[in-house]
A and B are shown apart, each in its own frame.
Chain A
Amino acid sequence: MLEDLSFGELKAAWGRHTGKPLPRVSAGLLRLALAWELQASVSGGISRITRQRLDQLAMDKTTTRPARPGMRLVREWNGTVHQVTIGEDGVISWQGKEWRSLSEVARAITGTRWSGPAFFGLKQKKVAA
């Protein structure tokens, strides 16, 4: 168990498991870090979406609401109204077809690359409070 390892054994285990250079921290913090890395290697770490969201929140300039099941997104483009629905299972459908992402739908509508959340108004500039 991690609790039983000495500082030296911990350092060795860190190198063996992560392959990263050894951080100059206390045994307690290194033990915590190693436990995190071990659990992340089994069940995955922080998702890409969460990382992006964290960065966005930290920058404090824009907010993106996630596309939740049951949502209906409407966008007017060149005089026509396009409606995208997100099913209860999270499937994005537009014009009776299923799509992998909102950005894909946005590209089909406009012919250019758009951020889907931005195109459908989920991503919004923060108004200064």
Chain B
Amino acid sequence: MKAVRCAIYTRKSSEEGLEQGFNSLDAQREACAAYILSQASEGWQLIPEDYDDGGLSGGTLERPALQRLLAHVAAGRIDIIVVYKVDRLTRSLLDFAKLVEAFDAAGTSFVSVTQSFNTTTSMGRLTLNMLLSFAQFEREVTAERIRDKIAASKARGMWMGGIPPLGYRPDGRSLAIEEDHAALVRDIFARYLKLTNVRLVADTLARDRLHTPQRVTGKGRRYGGCAFTRGQLYAILRNPIYAGDIAHKGTRYPGNHPAIIERETWEKVQQQLSDNVRGVRQNRQARASLLAGLLFDETGTPLIAVHTNKGRQRYRYYAQRAPNGADHAQSPTSIRLPAREIEQVVIRELTSLIDDPAILMERCCLPVTPDVYARIAGHSMMRQKQMLEWGNAQMRALVTRIVVHPDHIAIEIRAAALADLFGIDGSALMHTIRHNVPARLRRTGMVVRLVQDDGMTASSSLPDPVLIRLLVKAQRWWKELCSGTCDIAALARREQLSPSYITRVVRLAFLAPDIVDAITEGRLRAGVDSKALLATGAVPSDWREQEAKYLPG
């Protein structure tokens, strides 16, 4: 016959041991051992190792002996676990499910000596589940009963324990006045009424060397003996106990204890404290990213707003959610768009669309009449700046979704919301307008950038004003030099600049016409600015060479 290895698990939380003397670890172990012996004919054998958790609650699985037992079960060293009662293992149904799962995986069953069932059968498992449901129910009912009892006792004005407020000592189910401390409390209330300022009260108390009295908690911990903080003073001044009340969850009941402060005085202090409050306390609310919830990749996967911080700088992105908890940085193929770049593209496209209302109204399918145009003209002055102030909610009202394709971005706009923007009733418009922006994604490192098809960064289409001014200056100076009226040294003296700087600027007059066009239209190759064009050797004489260098390729 095959030997069945049995392990005994015992547990006792201290309070239970007190009320039930027989339910000690030894008694449990003895009963279990006797049971195993009775099953010797079935081949049951007690393994020598002990699994005893003394003084630990059944509410948690973090018990050393239980963890050791589970490790041995997982190692396949145990066939049956014998316990005195099921609640020795756990009192929580959730934890019990975990345990049963672990036992099942290892092919281990367990037996309760005083509660007869066998977890190897479905009926046994059902019984067990029911039993544990009731165990859990009992725990919750007990907790409810205690809560109700506390509420009822407080409603009758009883003191329900805890550290007594300064000026009182516990007196059965009530509080008694501790006279020298109560004098200190009266002093604090009087000072506040005179000064009407908690900070000044704290200052004068510290100046008069009036400190919190040294007290000892029920468990023997010493506290007090230091200066009153403002927080402590607020707590004292706001405490309804001093007016003879007991508070419970926002309601006040008349207490059984004597008041230290007259009710009238106390109310006056409360009024003063409330009058002193300036402004509204509010938590800072996180501002949602402008396009949060609107961006999708071409497969329909949403791009979520993420950010990283470096020092005080915050870098925002819209990124694909990494598969199941993996780090974003570890999936190199996923899209990760710099937030500012895509936001600017979207804002620019929307503003330019709104500035061209005729096309829009046609796509909205609204009849175009002169008065409609007049109204649009009033509204079309939507500035980019204004839209930059928009919040996520406003953007969501106008845009249904934005799909980022590899070679373009599709913005879907609610026709009705657009009509509203122009002050036209568009409630009948159900359709969306689709607007395509030719821009493609280019990967630089981990980050994907948006690049317009001619190689220019999509978000920068305005001409560089510094470059324009330099270009105009260069042409004016060259004209002067050509007229023979002055030389570079004379120009430098007049402009109060160095001759070498003048020379470098004048070279810009010899940029190819195509490059000048590109500068005025703001479509130079990304990264080409005035600094790059003023560098030594920046202007080759051959136009083709210049174009290869500065025009988007």
Contacts and interface: CB of A to CB of B under 8 A. Distances in A.
Interface of A: 2, 20-26, 29, 31-33, 35-36, 39-40, 43-47, 50, 53-55, 57-58, 60, 66, 71-74, 76, 79-81, 83, 127
B393 to A, nearest CB: 27
18 contacts: A2-B541, A29-B503, A29-B506, A33-B478, A36-B509, A40-B513, A46-B516, A47-B513, A50-B516, A50-B517, A54-B468, A55-B472, A58-B468, A72-B359, A74-B358, A76-B370, A81-B370, A127-B383
A45 B513 contact: yes
Contacts of B413: none
Contacts of B222: none
Interface in B509-528: 509-510, 512-513, 516-517, 520-521
A21 B484 contact: yes
Nearest to A127: B383
A73 B478 CA distance: 39
A40 B471 CA distance: 17
B488 interface: yes
A83 B541 contact: no
A25 B473 CA distance: 17
Interface string B440-470: 0000000000000000000000010100110
Interface string B304-346: 0000000000000000000000000000000000000000000
Given A35-B510, A73-B358, 12 more contacts: A23-B481, A23-B482, A24-B488, A46-B513, A47-B513, A50-B516, A57-B468, A58-B468, A58-B469, A81-B373, A83-B358, A127-B383
Given A24-B481, A46-B513, A80-B370, A58 B503 contact: no
B360 to A, nearest CB: 10
Interface in B346-361: 356, 358-359
Contacts of A21: 482-484
B517 to A, nearest CB: 5
Given A33-B510, A36-B541, A39-B543, A54 B373 contact: no
B203 interface: no
A54 B435 CA distance: 32
Contact of B487 (A25, A53, A127): A25
A54 B513 contact: no
B542 interface: yes
Nearest to A37: B510
A29 B370 contact: no
Which range holds the interface residue count of chain B?
Answer: 35 or more
Contacts of A20: 482
Interface of B: 356, 358-359, 368-370, 373-374, 377, 383, 463, 465, 468-469, 471-472, 475, 478, 481-484, 486-488, 503, 506-507, 509-510, 512-513, 516-517, 520-521, 539, 541-543
B540 to A, nearest CB: 9
A109 to B, nearest CB: 14
Given A32-B507, A74-B358, A24 B487 contact: yes
Contact of B373 (A24, A25, A53, A76): A76
A7 to B, nearest CB: 15
A43 B547 CA distance: 14
A120 B198 CA distance: 67
B126 to A, nearest CB: 74
A72 B359 CA distance: 7
B491 to A, nearest CB: 10
Nearest to B372: A81
A47 B514 CA distance: 9
A53 B479 CA distance: 18
B385 to A, nearest CB: 9
B481 A32 contact: no
Nearest to B462: A63
A39 B515 CA distance: 14
A79 B372 CA distance: 11
A25 B481 contact: yes
Contacts of B481: 23-25
A52 B171 CA distance: 95
A79 B370 contact: yes
Contacts of B488: 24-26
B108 to A, nearest CB: 76
Contacts of A81: 368-370, 373
A83 B542 CA distance: 44
B505 to A, nearest CB: 11
A57 B373 CA distance: 30
Nearest to B539: A32
